Amino acid sequence: MTIYLNHTFHYETESLVRLFFPNDKITVSREQPDASVRPLVTALLFPEGDGHRIFVSAAIGDSYEEDTAVVQDNEQPPEEREKFLEKALAVALYGVLVRLTGHSQPWGILTGVRPIKLFRRLSEQYGVDYAKTYFQQELLVSEEKTALSAVTERYEKKILALSQPRSFSLYVSIPFCPSRCSYCSFVSQTIENAKKLMEPYFSLLCQELAVTAQIAAACQLRLESVYIGGGTPTTLSAEQLKVLLETICRCFDMRTCREFTVEAGRPDTIDREKLEAILQGGADRISINPQTLNDDVLRVIGRRHTAQETLDAFALAREVGFRHINMDLIAGLPTDTPDSFRQTLDRLCELSPESITVHTLAMKRSSRLTLQGEAPDTYAVSSAGAMLQYGEQKLTAEGYHPYYLYRQTRMAGNLENVGWAKEGFDSFYNIYVMDETHTILGCGAGAVTKLKKPLSESLERIFNYKYPYEYINGFDEMLSRKERVKSFYDELAEYLSQICL
């Protein structure tokens, strides 16, 4: 796919085109291509009078659509002019692509990860009714997704109100898995390939946690939530899990911590000893992630466990004493069907976990499915839409509500991921990290520390090394980066003292 343009909205235009052609390699050109180039998208802006003329077209084979419009962007306030023009171009191009392909997008021209943040900002400025109207009429979001946004934002707001100017959450990365799923692009390594790295990695991780805790205390930060993720944290031994949780609880001030989660994502890594170590170590929330309860689909995606092992792991977690268990599903997995997805969800609802997260398959560039050319076409997996629709109906009927929502690139059907919870079981960490509410201190390979200036959109990132061997070899350098946390809060000291009065 070639995109011919003559303006600065390069990223926005490419992102919109990718909604309709997610598996195409896209080339952006500022030189007019030969007339024979196919497929070709053209998006041009020309000054005209007090505004601009927009010309957009799309050609695939013998099919061709075009549109033109004149917009008076000079009438907009200077600070709003560029966004106004960008949106007008996107709306015109979207209309052409819908006519050409015969497919509309449930989220309209929205391509961002965090639509709920936008909905909340509009609601706070102009009211909920305005936000709904703006989503549907200006951004072309469907009525169903607009309604989902409104409900999700309402539940998020309750949790966000609990965060304070000096609040932070802690993320701990365990970048090892028993096997790599075919759709996965996370920076994690299989135990077989990285077994010799696990012990030195674990030792340094505990050191980083201790240093990070000292920094948090020096900055007088307030811990709201802890999330141990990966990868698969339960690839650690029971003794390692015990030491890890003891380190966190000893080093950090846990008195204000509202939630402590450990991802026990793979049922085949769970046993009684590990679950007891987690619960006795202070974690009150775990996530057991079947993705599907169809054994054939599990084999296709590279999971080395069965549906029965998931059910057994859940029963064992209940027996050990966990009272908040989350379970993850993925809609749109290869070879899965709406009927199979329905059976999986119905079975999970019988188990009655406190929360269920329904993801949509996202075909990341570095996943095995994509690298091997097996990525399904967006429209071939449109059944994902039917799966999510059933999920919303079923979970609502079972007493769950949507409490956080985010989107990713290359998602099947251009849909979304939604966390559903029973009353009182919304995940604090999931909301805080997705809303970018407050600072996140990240420890471990691939973790990112995000420093948030309160009452603003300002966010500064500090990156840890991605891979375990890099983390081990560059540990001292990586720790030195963490010193920026201190200087960040030193710079904010006067500002924080004023807003905390």
Residue 388 in this model has a pLDDT that exceeds 70: yes
Q: Rounded mean pLDDT of 378-385?
A: 65
pLDDT at residue number 291:
94
495/243: higher pLDDT: 243
Q: To which H or E segment does residue 27 belong?
A: strand 27-29
Q: What is the pLDDT of residues 66-79, one digit of tens each?
A: 999 999 988 889 88
Residue 345 in this model has a pLDDT that exceeds 80: yes
Residue 374 in this model has a pLDDT that exceeds 70: no
Q: Is 372 exposed, middle or buried (0-12, 13-18, 19+ CB in 10 A)?
A: exposed
The set of residues, in sequence order, having a beta carbon less than 8 Å from that of 284 and lying 6+ positions away, is: 259, 260, 322, 323, 324
User: Residue 127 is encoded by which pair of tokens?
Assistant: 């009211």
What is the pTM for the complete model shown?
0.93
Architecture (CATH level 2) of domain 288-323+325-424 = 2-Layer Sandwich (3.30)
Mean pLDDT score of the chain: 92
pLDDT at residue number 194:
74
Q: Cite the beta strand spans of 188-251 per DSSP E.
A: 189-190, 222-230
User: Residue 456 is encoded by which pair of tokens?
Assistant: 């603003």
168: closest CA among 449, 456, 499, 457?
Answer: 449
Q: Which residues of 204-227 are buried (b: 16+ CB within 10 A; e: fewer)?
A: bbbebbeebbebbeebebbbbbbb
pLDDT at residue number 35:
81
332: closest CA among 363, 374, 370?
Answer: 363
Q: What is the pLDDT of residues 273-292, one digit of tens each?
A: 999 999 999 999 999 999 99
- Give the lowest-confidence range in 143-147, 263-267, 307-311, 326-330: 263-267
If one looks up domain 1-104 in CATH, what number appears?
Answer: 3.30.160
- Give the lowest-confidence range in 20-24, 136-140, 229-233, 273-277: 20-24
Distance CA 312, CA 318 (A): 10
- The residues spanned by each domain of the chain are 1-104, 105-149, 169-284+426-501, 288-323+325-424
Distance CA 140, CA 137 (A): 5
Q: Which amino acid is at 154?
A: R
Q: What is the pLDDT of residues 163-181, one digit of tens each?
A: 999 999 999 999 998 766 6
Whether 286 and 262 have beta carbons less than 8 Å apart is answered as yes
The set of residues, in sequence order, having a beta carbon less than 8 Å from that of 401 and lying 6+ positions away, is: 151, 155, 420, 421, 422, 423
